[in-house]
Amino acid sequence: MKPQTLATISALVLGLPALAIAQSSVDTNGDGVLTIEEVQAVLPDVDADGFSAMDANGDGALDQAEIAVAQEAGLLPATNG
């Protein structure tokens, strides 16, 4: 099993929000932002319209600020800590 998969499963089993590990294993290509594919791998209910609503600058990726705003708006689960 890939370390990324193990970390994601561990986070879910431990009851942590799925995006609590957004800066590590969810960001599968390590570019520091989340694409719709990366988000949907953990939160499959996020559709293109929902992702676009979170992607404030329209660049096709969620950066740290957009993730924080989406969490505050209840569109993404909050991280612990």
Share above pLDDT 70 across residues of the chain, in percent, rounded to a whole number: 67
- Asked whether the beta carbons of 76 and 42 are under 8 A apart, the reply is no
Does 81 fall in a domain?
A: no
Q: Containing domain of residue 46, as a range?
A: 3-72
The pLDDT of residue 8 is 42
Does 18 fall in a domain?
A: yes
- Predicted confidence (pLDDT) per residue in 16-53, tens digit: 444 544 456 788 998 989 999 999 998 999 999 999 99
pTM for the predicted model, two decimal places: 0.68
Does 77 fall in a domain?
A: no
Does 16 fall in a domain?
A: yes
- Asked whether the beta carbons of 18 and 42 are under 8 A apart, the reply is yes
Does 21 fall in a domain?
A: yes
Does 45 fall in a domain?
A: yes
Does 40 fall in a domain?
A: yes
Q: Any idea what the CATH number is for the domain that residue 16 is in?
A: 1.10.238
Q: Which residues pair with 34 in a beta bridge?
A: 62
Token digits of residue 10:
């561990």
- The count of domains in the chain is 1
